[in-house]
Amino acid sequence: MAGIAESINENIVKRASAGERAAQRELYENFRDRTFRVVRRIVGESDADDVTQECFLKVFAKLPTFRFESQFSTWLHRLVVNESLQHLRSRSRRKKYGQPILDGEMGRVAGVATMENAELLEIALSRIEPELRVVFELKEVDELPYSEIAEIVGIPEGTVGSRLNRARTELRDQLTQLGWES
């Protein structure tokens, strides 16, 4: 992440802010993978494409308000997390993200014996609160320090720790319920 942050200089942000398409492309291509991953984790695969593009529309529209008082990556990440959570909240009409395919009596996911661990984690993550998914993703996948996670999510550093506690214990419980053999 540091590499990306260093490669995005003030000049590129200002040019993109002025609407220069080449600079917008540079920003997009530098951050799209990470953004897509976070968006996908929060809103699910079905909406990830659309929400990723919505996020960048908002990023480009709001670039003039970026004051270089924080790292650009942190600013962008905060916007992406907020936009994704907002999308999730407004999706009340639609089917709940990642609703598991439960065998009612057994309380286990159908076909669990053939499921890969990655699939189990996907399902387990879909069952915990979005706010917990976010901090888990930022810590375990992006490997961000608590201070940066706190800035992105807009919570105190201490709350990052407590949310990670909940995320990990709830994930462990869900994984166990799914038949995960650690």
Partner 1 sequence: MNCKQACEWMSAYFDGELNVSSMALATGSDRTEELADSAAPLAVAIREHIASCDACACELRSFEQIRQLATSQQKSLLCPPSWESMALKLDQVRGMALATDSDCDAVGMVEPAASAVPLIAKPAASTVPLIRRLALGGLLTLAASALLFFSLRTPPQLEGTSANQANFATLNLQPLIELFNTDSDKAMATLVSQHPTTDVTLATAEAEFGRPTFVQNSASSNSLPGNAHLVSTKLVQFPNCKCAKGICTCGPGGCSCVACVCQRPDGSTYLVLEHCKSQSVTFGDLPVQIVKRGDRHLQQVEVQGTTAISWEQDGERLTAIGLRGFQEIDTLLANN
By CB under 8 A, tell whether 30 contacts partner 1.
no
By CB under 8 A, tell whether 142 contacts partner 1.
no
Contact pick of 6, 25, 129, 179 for partner 1 (by CB under 8 A): 25
Contact present, 98 and 29 (Cβ < 8 Å): no
Contact pick of 76, 138, 164, 178 for partner 1 (by CB under 8 A): 164
By CB under 8 A, tell whether 45 contacts partner 1.
yes
Burial class from Cβ neighbours inside 10 Å (0-12, 13-18, 19+) for residue 181 reads: exposed
By CB under 8 A, tell whether 66 contacts partner 1.
no
| x-marked contacts with partner 1 along 92-131 as a string, rule CB under 8 A | --xx---------------------xx-xx----------
| Smaller CB separation from partner 1, 9 or 86 | 86
Contact present, 168 and 139 (Cβ < 8 Å): no
Q: How many CB atoms lie within 10 A of CB 40?
A: 19
Residue 145, classed as helix, strand or coil, is coil
Contact present, 59 and 52 (Cβ < 8 Å): no
Least distance to partner 1, CB of residue 165, Å: 5
| Smaller CB separation from partner 1, 90 or 105 | 90
Least distance to partner 1, CB of residue 116, Å: 8
The Cα–Cα gap between 180 and 32 comes to 32
Cβ contacts of 61 within 8 Å, gap of 6 or more: none
By CB under 8 A, tell whether 136 contacts partner 1.
yes
Which two structure tokens, joined as six digits, stand for 166? 């909940």
